[in-house]
Amino acid sequence: MALIRSIVTYLNGVLATLVASLSAMIVALVRPRSRLVDHIAKMWARACLWPSGVHLEVRGREHVDPSKSYVVISNHQSTFDIMAHFVGLPVPIRFLAKKELFSTPFLGWALKAMDMVPVDRTSHRSFRSVETGALRVAELGKSIMVYAEGTRTIDGSLLPFKKGAFAIAVHTGLPVLPTTIYGADKTWKARHKIIDGGPITMVIGEPIQTSGLGSDDIELLRDQVKQVIQNTLDDLDKAQS
């Protein structure tokens, strides 16, 4: 059953990505700032989750002001995290994406059409352009989404958080919106091809304001957000036991 689910999910994901990419490009050409692009992203995410056996529960939507922009920080357990955030967050989001992806046919074109922010991991000078991209996203009324660990966890435990996302928040003055993903590592394990499906819980925490903070506060902010996410994971673990 898991093998069949995996094959169907892979094929469906390729088709959904192709359709969504073409749709986003067409909309962007006709109406570059159309909100329809955000609806396409949500439909893509739902389409990808549909055959996977994933059941998403979202808590804490009341903490989000849909009229504001945030730097959304989350832990990273699975590829499904991306779909969960598109579906579950009540604000439109844009991701940091590897610069190389923007050269990929269809997907790269869609990333450009959606104003995703390219990151050149080989250059130490790329932070300035990332910061500029984050400000552009905020000016468009969107929020920037960052997985602070930089990669997926293998066993569900938190990896060290990188400082980049918190530097963006401090330098742009955008509030941090901590979100916690729980259970995704069991639905599709990192480095595994088989998709098992199952429940994913996403908990949206209270925003943390960054106005008035400076460069010396970046590490403290990072540690504060990591602790919020760790505490939420611990609470969810206790509730399961």
Name which of 157, 200, 235, 187 is nearest 58 in CA terms: 200
* Confidence bin at 156 (pLDDT 50/70/90): confident
pLDDT score recorded for residue 63: 97
Greater pLDDT, 192 or 160: 160
Cβ within 8 Å of residue 10, ≥6 positions away = none
Name which of 222, 200, 199, 211 is nearest 146 in CA terms: 222
Mean pLDDT of the 68-85 span: 95
* Confidence bin at 103 (pLDDT 50/70/90): confident
What is the Cβ-side half-sphere exposure of residue 103, based on CA atoms within 13 angstroms? 5
Predicted TM-score (pTM) of the model is 0.92
Q: Is 123 a residue whose pLDDT tops 70?
A: no
| Structural element, H or E, at residue 20 | helix 2-30
Q: How far apart are CA 116 and CA 108, in angstroms?
A: 10
Domain ranges for the chain: 54-240
Q: Residue with structure tokens 């989750």?
A: 49
Q: How far apart are CA 22 and CA 16, in angstroms?
A: 10
| Structural element, H or E, at residue 229 | helix 218-240
When mean pLDDT is compared over 131-145, 185-199, 222-236, the highest value belongs to 222-236
pLDDT score recorded for residue 126: 66
pLDDT score recorded for residue 76: 95
Q: Is 49 a residue whose pLDDT tops 80?
A: yes
Q: Is 52 a residue whose pLDDT tops 70?
A: yes
Q: Is 125 a residue whose pLDDT tops 70?
A: no
Greater pLDDT, 169 or 109: 169
pLDDT score recorded for residue 112: 81
Q: Is 5 a residue whose pLDDT tops 80?
A: yes
Average pLDDT over the chain reads 90
Q: How far apart are CA 93 and CA 71, in angstroms?
A: 9
pLDDT score recorded for residue 73: 97
% residues pLDDT > 90 (the chain): 64
pLDDT score recorded for residue 204: 98
